[in-house]
Amino acid sequence: MQTILVVEDDKNTNQVITEFLKDAGYNVLPVFDGEQAETVFFENKIDMAVLDIMLPKQSGLEVLKYIRSFSTIPVIMLTALGDEYTQIKSFDLQADEYVTKPFSPVVLVKRIEALLKRASPINNTVLSIGDIVIDFSAYTVSKDAQPLEFTTKEIDILKFFAENEGKVVSRQQILDSVWGLDATSSDRTVDTHIKNIRKKLGVECITTVKNVGYKFEVAL
């Protein structure tokens, strides 16, 4: 499960972001000032940070500079300041995105998901499930060194599962990621593809979570 650091001194805003991210399946560490943010970041494995700029003790820009001194994780700056100078300063310090308040929590979660997906190394890695090997860069699947016939969409679904291993994901999340936000495909399309994937893999790694979606786990 990926961990997101949320640094926002307004308790209501922090709580809203935290709840939406938890609902999306993330582990969230909410903090309320810049000094605490640096401490929490140093003591935990953080996959992404959402930083307000106007923070007590240390500004969000100072926290960003601290993070960038030894980490390249995705960072979104979240602020009521919309002036050009502040935006340029944020990008100079290597922020990945800049979101101005007021904002939609749903859209913020989508931005976070997109950034984490782009930052994920899964696109260039090989995943092994028992004697099955999935090469995401070559789009091939093999068992005992013998190729298996998988469609591009089926490998895209496996890639999405690998990026979200251990998390329960909804059919809509799979549709949005694999078919796109404007796709006309349905939940039944997802179910059919996953049925085919299970049959071809022949191993138990995709669990159906009733009334929610699916969960992908690879035994260590």
Which residues are within 8 A (CB) of 67 and not within 5 positions of it... i.e. 6 or more apart?
41, 49, 73, 75
Overall size of the chain counted in residues: 220
- Report d(CA 15, CA 73) in Å as an integer: 22
Q: What is the CA radius of gyration of the chain?
A: 19
pTM above 0.85, yes or no: no
72-131 confidence digits (pLDDT tens): 888 999 887 767 777 787 878 888 888 888 889 999 998 898 888 777 655 558 888 888
- Average pLDDT value over all residues in the chain: 87
Q: Enumerate domains of the chain plus CATH numbers.
A: 3-119 (3.40.50.2300), 123-216 (1.10.10.10)
149-192 confidence digits (pLDDT tens): 999 899 999 999 988 888 888 998 898 888 875 556 678 889 99
pLDDT at 182: 53
- Report d(CA 61, CA 49) in Å as an integer: 12
C-alpha count within 13 angstroms, C-beta hemisphere, residue 208:
8
Which residues are within 8 A (CB) of 88 and not within 5 positions of it... i.e. 6 or more apart?
none
